[in-house]
A and B are shown apart, each in its own frame.
Chain A
Amino acid sequence: MSGNGHQPTEGGPSVGVPAEGGPSVGVPAEGEIRIGVYVCHCGSNIAGVVDVVEVARWAGEALKDRGVVIAREYRFMCSSPGQDLITDDIRDLGLNRIVVAACSPHLHENTFRNATARAGLNPYLCELVSIREQDSWVHTDKAAATAKAKAILSGGVERVRRNTPLDAIIVDINAATLVVGGGIAGIQAALEIADAGFHVYLVEKDASIGGHMAQFDKTFPTLDCAACILTPRMVSAGTHPNVTLLTWSEVTHVDGYVGNFTATILKKARYVDESLCTGCGVCSEKCPKNVIDEVYEAGLGYRKAIYTPFDQAVPRTPVIDRQNCTYFEKGTCKACEKFCESNAIRFDQQDEEITINIGNIILATGYEIFDARRIAQYGYGRLPNVFTSLEFERLSNSAGPTNGRIVLRDGVTEPKTVGVIHCVGSRDRNFNNYCSAICCMQSLKFAHLVKEHTGATVYNFYIDMRTVAKSYDEFYQRVMEEGTLFVRGKPAEVTEAGRLPGEEGKLIVQVEDTLAGRQRRIPVDMVVLSVGLQPRADAKELATRFGISCSSDGWAIEKHPKLDPVATMTEGVFIAGCVSGPKDIPSSVAQGAAAAARVLGRIQMKQMNLEPIKASVHADNCSGCRICNTMCPYNAISFQVAAGVSSINAAMCQGCGTCVAACPAGAIAGTGFSDEQVLAQIEGLLKVGADGTPLKRSAFPEAHHEPIEEAVRA
């Protein structure tokens, strides 16, 4: 049903038929502005509250002197007959500006721009103003809503008068791609692109690719061995002809814009010549210096001063840990050099800088685990038998420090009772509000592994059990059937202060069992903290380096959280895996592939159109004051010393307009949202008062009477 009982006449022009005087057909006179206004009912979505018929009538009459030649209302402007109204009028009435009053530009701006273009008019001469999301859907007072619709329309009309034809900016796409981060997401992305026949630079800061997944033993819910499924991928990444693997390396600087980036990569010295090293591993064997492995073994095991992080590492080439190498400390030893048959050791090797040109970038830099020490009452770091999930992964890993034996810190005793605490550092106002997504499943996996390896009693302390993905809940059922005990409640503390019989020598988990509705003290031998995921410490610097934005937490922000989850606001920079938030392995892999698909799409296009919403400097008006030079986070603004003026690289410009607003000389113009357009829209919006009548204005006071006669004569 439409507003005020008006029945819209389907298709045909209802009101404001061509303004008398104005030519009914044909091309507009030079400079003449001829605007067509189209008010959408959106069924009853708009017409139910806004009197669209009245709005169209008003526009046809009140805005005639503002260039409105025709004003129509129609049931669904986005329908093809609706769009035809526009295209026909452009042809028949010689319209050169279009204003559609309907839904949000974010829905249908392109629809109407395309319709405009089909009729041979530049699409940017069409404006879509929202009288649905911003009016009919949020107001109930019909009169007020109709008045507001008139104001919004008036604003659109004034704005469109100042619109100028714009052409998309075209740039070439370099087919090479940079993937940052050698975890499973990055590896997946790299392989997808490489397999498609395009070159990839895969940069990893550690000595080997593989990421966190390489540290795991089993993966939920299928319990297949992480190494078994990951290693083949690592190897093909390491051997793929289209992949240049750059481990022990970091991206230090990025320049350029979509299709044409330049990245500077710091390749840290390994002190081993990769071209000669066979990866036999004898150097590590002979190295006399044992070092606690904080990274791969999570501090539970040892490595040598020259080492490959783990057996399946890719590449096999070891690195010398300069801080702990006896030679670098004392200038003697060189055991590795002595025993290396291929003479690959290079103590004099230096860091080197590599510069590469690429067209697109995929960031798959992953996450860090929450530092359990921050929750003192759980005693991690103080109570020896409190472990983190990562430590447990290593304990349970057959290739781990205990060869898969789950034991207490003493390295021998098997636990009889184990408590697994969920949501450590997650869903907690004091630390991270968000859910880390993987902890529930990982905790269930731990429970299962403890049972399997030790037969111990396992308690899982959880707030809510979240097992949302395929076969996840089945796994939950299975673990329950295996006899794991589930206590719903967030433990208040873990203590060794036993006071009841049976508590001495144990860790006591103090928890309110919210199902039983009582406080419980549960003695266990081992506590596993299922710590959450958090952004890498350097996430913010990373974001700045690549010109993307991240939330206050530090997770990278997607171009659209639902509709464009692997793209960012910066053209040509994509994200995959945990860099944008906690994810399990399947999602990370899916995102790696998705990002790769986006990049491949770009590569296939060879060229790309950029939105022509750009800023540009009028050199004649620029005084070279350099106020604008610090305005651009994308480094699109540079100062031309010779000419003494600033200039803007259109392709790098993202169109935010901050420099336009900052220029004290008014020398920077911004297309799409020019001063003229915005100021005109302000005027338009304020031509209509709250009651729909013209806004009432007073004049500045003036002297009461004209000067006396003799003053004039003399």
Chain B
Amino acid sequence: MERITIDPVTRLEGHGKIEIFLDPDGEVANAYFQIPELRGFERFCVGRPVEEMPTLTNRICGVCPEAHHMASAKAADAVYHVDPPRTAKLLRELLYSAFYVTDHTTHFYALGGPDFIVGPDAPPAERNILGVLAKVGMEVGGQVIQARKQGHNVIEMIGGRKIHPATAVPGGMTHGITEEQRAEIERIGRWSIEFAQFSLGIFDKMVLGNDAYKEMILSDGYTHRTYYMGLVDPNNKGNFYDGRVSIMSPDGERVGTYAPAEYRDWIAEHVEPWTYLKFPYLKKVGWKGLVDGADSGVYCATPLSRLNVAEGMATPLAQAAYERFYDTLAPKPESGGKRLVHHRLATHWARLIELLYAAEHMVELATDPEITSPNIRTVPTEKPTEGVGTVEAPRGTLTHHYWTDERGVLTAVNLLVGTTNNYAPMAMSIKKAAQSLIHKGVVVHQGLLNRVEMAFRLYDPCFGCATHSFPGEMPLQVAIRNSDGEVIEVLSQNC
């Protein structure tokens, strides 16, 4: 049987590899997406004091340490049955919103943008951030860099460090912000709102204004009807830092909304022996393998998912963008009643809407009268036991679950990490891409690459989180081998 190995350059890092098997007729028999790395946080966090977890679990992922820092701090609060002062929560959420601004900006311009702005068929050499800047103008590049820089500055102001923040502890924060810092953060927030709107403008002009792109977004190859997951506030508006987890069926039915602590009633993780990464799925629906539809427990947790589960956005400008999003892509509601977008490429658009929300929310928080209050810590009085902490990481719902002894030393740990949620959908997208492009053993090389990488990129996969090893984004390389397994051609490009 012939075998095609799509082998990321990051193979060097032992990160992710795709094996496509063809049947004797040269049709795709199966495609496997392997995550060949594990670090074992669930094991070695046992024995550590719970107050260390927010900094220890930072190291799960250097791309989104803020998410782990927050989920961990919330789990630690729960372990001690302590409710941090309002200001502490505001500070955490403010840091977290700033992080969303940087993260979503980076992804859209450096990673997702090239596909649309430069064009999916442009030569790989141009399909990168520089290509984008060439198209939209250098000054935008300056703004992109500024957006990242400013975001990291806010993170450092509140978290102490630009990467791997240090200030969230059980019961609150170790330190607050001054009025000067608050003012600066507010300024950055307002700047970010404009930047987000500007970015949406680019998307409008370059993408929605281009029928070919629109067609591609709506095309079947990039459509999966799966369940969706995301955090919502009491009004079912999306929220990144806090709230209840809501599940939406592919048919627009709200399957349920649960408190994070109940996650085990809803989610289980399936195990395959050929990969180090587990496949989460909806327990109530069950694991049916890598297939979509209402009968398969496969779900997805992305910006798109969060919009799909939410009734709307909690800030005015984002709400407007939200409505426009659905008016454009899903004019009529599903049978279940909620309007849903199943087109995966729309995730890029959804991400920009979240960017706008994050920026607006930053300003809300930075202008809250209590944000500079010195009251940022509640000292725990109860015996530590068990606790769950959940936040929305940019790449999906993130849950930390700790059990401790009476000294607050961990006895067990469970981590359900953002990107992991989308492992199954990603594998599905890959298979779908392969199937649509490989016939009779004939491979449309460049196309295959583009399709696969685009399928990937929209999930903004961060396997640093998932396997506690896969950093950042994932470049791809396709090795095509003849039946003897020899490499006859190598194609490679970056996503």
Task: Decide whether A and B are members of one complex.
Answer: yes
Question: Chain A interface (Cβ within 8 Å of chain B)?
Answer: 710-711, 713-714
- In the bound assembly, the distance between CA atoms of A150 and B477 in angstroms comes to 59
CB distance from A105 to the nearest CB of B (A): 45
- In the bound assembly, the distance between CA atoms of A710 and B487 in angstroms comes to 9
CB distance from B414 to the nearest CB of A (A): 27
Chain B residues, Cβ within 8 Å of A711: 11
CB distance from B225 to the nearest CB of A (A): 36
> Interface residues of B toward A: which range?
under 10
Q: Give the contacts of B466-495 with A (CB-CB under 8 A).
A: 477, 479, 485, 487, 490
Contact A714 B485 (CB under 8 A): no
Q: List the A residue with the shortest CB-CB distance to B11.
A: A714
Chain A residues, Cβ within 8 Å of B477: 714
Chain B residues, Cβ within 8 Å of A710: 5, 479, 485
Chain A residues, Cβ within 8 Å of B5: 710
> Besides the contacts A710-B479, A714-B11, A714-B487, what 4 more A-B pairs have beta carbons closer than 8 Å?
A710-B485, A714-B7, A714-B477, A714-B479
- In the bound assembly, the distance between CA atoms of A710 and B485 in angstroms comes to 9
Contact B487 A713 (CB under 8 A): yes
CB distance from A469 to the nearest CB of B (A): 64
Chain A residues, Cβ within 8 Å of B7: 714
Chain B residues, Cβ within 8 Å of A713: 487
Can you name 11 A-B pairs with beta carbons within 8 Å? A710-B5, A710-B479, A710-B485, A711-B11, A713-B487, A714-B7, A714-B11, A714-B477, A714-B479, A714-B487, A714-B490
CB distance from B148 to the nearest CB of A (A): 32
- In the bound assembly, the distance between CA atoms of A711 and B5 in angstroms comes to 10
CB distance from B445 to the nearest CB of A (A): 16
- In the bound assembly, the distance between CA atoms of A396 and B487 in angstroms comes to 117
CB distance from A706 to the nearest CB of B (A): 14
Q: List the A residue with the shortest CB-CB distance to B486.
A: A713
- In the bound assembly, the distance between CA atoms of A363 and B288 in angstroms comes to 91
Chain A residues, Cβ within 8 Å of B11: 711, 714
Chain B residues, Cβ within 8 Å of A714: 7, 11, 477, 479, 487, 490
- In the bound assembly, the distance between CA atoms of A713 and B11 in angstroms comes to 11
CB distance from B75 to the nearest CB of A (A): 32
CB distance from B248 to the nearest CB of A (A): 41
CB distance from B392 to the nearest CB of A (A): 36
Q: List the A residue with the shortest CB-CB distance to B492.
A: A714
- In the bound assembly, the distance between CA atoms of A711 and B479 in angstroms comes to 11
- In the bound assembly, the distance between CA atoms of A714 and B488 in angstroms comes to 10
- In the bound assembly, the distance between CA atoms of A711 and B14 in angstroms comes to 9
Q: List the B residue with the shortest CB-CB distance to A713.
A: B487
Q: List the B residue with the shortest CB-CB distance to A709.
A: B485
Q: Give the contacts of B1-52 with A (CB-CB under 8 A).
A: 5, 7, 11
- In the bound assembly, the distance between CA atoms of A711 and B11 in angstroms comes to 8
Q: List the B residue with the shortest CB-CB distance to A707.
A: B14
- In the bound assembly, the distance between CA atoms of A711 and B10 in angstroms comes to 11
- In the bound assembly, the distance between CA atoms of A356 and B285 in angstroms comes to 92
Q: List the A residue with the shortest CB-CB distance to B3.
A: A710
- In the bound assembly, the distance between CA atoms of A710 and B36 in angstroms comes to 15
The 6 closest A-B pairs by CB, nearest first: A714-B7, A714-B479, A714-B11, A713-B487, A710-B5, A710-B485
CB distance from B36 to the nearest CB of A (A): 9
- In the bound assembly, the distance between CA atoms of A637 and B78 in angstroms comes to 47
CB distance from B235 to the nearest CB of A (A): 51
CB distance from A705 to the nearest CB of B (A): 15
Chain A residues, Cβ within 8 Å of B485: 710
Q: List the A residue with the shortest CB-CB distance to B481.
A: A710
- In the bound assembly, the distance between CA atoms of A313 and B161 in angstroms comes to 76
- In the bound assembly, the distance between CA atoms of A713 and B5 in angstroms comes to 12
- In the bound assembly, the distance between CA atoms of A429 and B477 in angstroms comes to 86
- In the bound assembly, the distance between CA atoms of A710 and B486 in angstroms comes to 9
- In the bound assembly, the distance between CA atoms of A714 and B490 in angstroms comes to 8
CB distance from A655 to the nearest CB of B (A): 39
Chain A residues, Cβ within 8 Å of B490: 714
CB distance from B32 to the nearest CB of A (A): 14
CB distance from B11 to the nearest CB of A (A): 6
CB distance from B170 to the nearest CB of A (A): 27
CB distance from B492 to the nearest CB of A (A): 10
Q: Give the contacts of B241-276 with A (CB-CB under 8 A).
A: none
- In the bound assembly, the distance between CA atoms of A479 and B477 in angstroms comes to 112
CB distance from A650 to the nearest CB of B (A): 41
- In the bound assembly, the distance between CA atoms of A669 and B145 in angstroms comes to 48
- In the bound assembly, the distance between CA atoms of A710 and B477 in angstroms comes to 13
Q: List the A residue with the shortest CB-CB distance to B477.
A: A714
CB distance from B384 to the nearest CB of A (A): 30
Q: Give the contacts of B82-118 with A (CB-CB under 8 A).
A: none
CB distance from A140 to the nearest CB of B (A): 47
- In the bound assembly, the distance between CA atoms of A201 and B11 in angstroms comes to 83
Q: Give the contacts of B294-309 with A (CB-CB under 8 A).
A: none
Chain A residues, Cβ within 8 Å of B487: 713-714
Q: List the B residue with the shortest CB-CB distance to A711.
A: B11
CB distance from B165 to the nearest CB of A (A): 24
Q: List the A residue with the shortest CB-CB distance to B8.
A: A714
CB distance from A703 to the nearest CB of B (A): 12
- In the bound assembly, the distance between CA atoms of A714 and B7 in angstroms comes to 7
- In the bound assembly, the distance between CA atoms of A711 and B487 in angstroms comes to 12
Contact with A along B373-386 (1 / 0, CB 8 A): 00000000000000
CB distance from A708 to the nearest CB of B (A): 11
CB distance from B400 to the nearest CB of A (A): 30
- In the bound assembly, the distance between CA atoms of A714 and B9 in angstroms comes to 9
- In the bound assembly, the distance between CA atoms of A713 and B485 in angstroms comes to 11
Q: List the A residue with the shortest CB-CB distance to B9.
A: A714
Q: List the B residue with the shortest CB-CB distance to A712.
A: B11
- In the bound assembly, the distance between CA atoms of A713 and B479 in angstroms comes to 10
Contact with A along B408-437 (1 / 0, CB 8 A): 000000000000000000000000000000
- In the bound assembly, the distance between CA atoms of A713 and B484 in angstroms comes to 14
Q: List the A residue with the shortest CB-CB distance to B36.
A: A711
CB distance from B481 to the nearest CB of A (A): 8
- In the bound assembly, the distance between CA atoms of A710 and B4 in angstroms comes to 12
CB distance from A550 to the nearest CB of B (A): 41
- In the bound assembly, the distance between CA atoms of A12 and B11 in angstroms comes to 67
- In the bound assembly, the distance between CA atoms of A263 and B487 in angstroms comes to 88
- In the bound assembly, the distance between CA atoms of A184 and B369 in angstroms comes to 81
Q: List the A residue with the shortest CB-CB distance to B12.
A: A714
- In the bound assembly, the distance between CA atoms of A714 and B480 in angstroms comes to 9
- In the bound assembly, the distance between CA atoms of A353 and B210 in angstroms comes to 96
- In the bound assembly, the distance between CA atoms of A713 and B477 in angstroms comes to 13
CB distance from B482 to the nearest CB of A (A): 13
CB distance from B6 to the nearest CB of A (A): 11
CB distance from A711 to the nearest CB of B (A): 7
- In the bound assembly, the distance between CA atoms of A711 and B485 in angstroms comes to 12
Q: List the A residue with the shortest CB-CB distance to B5.
A: A710
- In the bound assembly, the distance between CA atoms of A675 and B314 in angstroms comes to 63
CB distance from A543 to the nearest CB of B (A): 41
Q: List the A residue with the shortest CB-CB distance to B485.
A: A710
CB distance from B92 to the nearest CB of A (A): 32
- In the bound assembly, the distance between CA atoms of A664 and B57 in angstroms comes to 27
CB distance from A196 to the nearest CB of B (A): 67
CB distance from B488 to the nearest CB of A (A): 12
- In the bound assembly, the distance between CA atoms of A711 and B7 in angstroms comes to 9
Chain A residues, Cβ within 8 Å of B479: 710, 714
CB distance from B17 to the nearest CB of A (A): 9
Q: Give the contacts of B215-239 with A (CB-CB under 8 A).
A: none
Q: List the A residue with the shortest CB-CB distance to B490.
A: A714
Contact with A along B449-477 (1 / 0, CB 8 A): 00000000000000000000000000001
- In the bound assembly, the distance between CA atoms of A468 and B490 in angstroms comes to 102
- In the bound assembly, the distance between CA atoms of A35 and B490 in angstroms comes to 61
CB distance from A714 to the nearest CB of B (A): 5
- In the bound assembly, the distance between CA atoms of A714 and B487 in angstroms comes to 7
Among A711, A713, A714, the one with the most B-chain Cβ atoms within 10 Å of its Cβ is: A714
Q: Give the contacts of B142-168 with A (CB-CB under 8 A).
A: none
CB distance from B127 to the nearest CB of A (A): 22
